[in-house]
Amino acid sequence: MNKGGIMAIINKDEVKGKFEQAKGTVKDKAGELTGNERLEAEGEAEHAEGEVQESWGKVKRNVSNAVEDVADAINK
């Protein structure tokens, strides 16, 4: 939430990251249940990629919020 009390809107990298994490978790669990080590490993990798993508999205959002805060401070 920024200083104005408005919650920042998540960006597409955060959404895609969450989706990849969920997809990876499903593959990981399916691999565990079926004994398919390749599918399990693929799921773990997708989940990790999703975490990285979500984190990158959060960094981008935080930078954007900081730039907006600076612009607001200048315009006051």
Q: Is 10 exposed, middle or buried (0-12, 13-18, 19+ CB in 10 A)?
A: middle
Could you tell me if 47 and 59 are in contact, meaning their C-beta atoms sit under 8 angstroms apart?
Answer: no
pLDDT confidence of residue 68:
87
pTM of the model: 0.79
pLDDT confidence of residue 5:
54
Instruction: Report the Cα 20 to chain-centroid distance in Å.
Output: 9
**C-alpha–C-alpha distance, residues 6 and 11, integer Å:** 15
pLDDT confidence of residue 47:
98
11: helix, strand or coil = coil
What are the pLDDT tens digits along the chain (76 aa)?
445 555 568 899 999 999 999 999 999 999 999 999 999 999 999 999 999 999 999 999 999 889 988 988 898 7
Domain boundaries, the chain: 15-47
Cβ neighbours of 46 (radius 10 Å)? 20
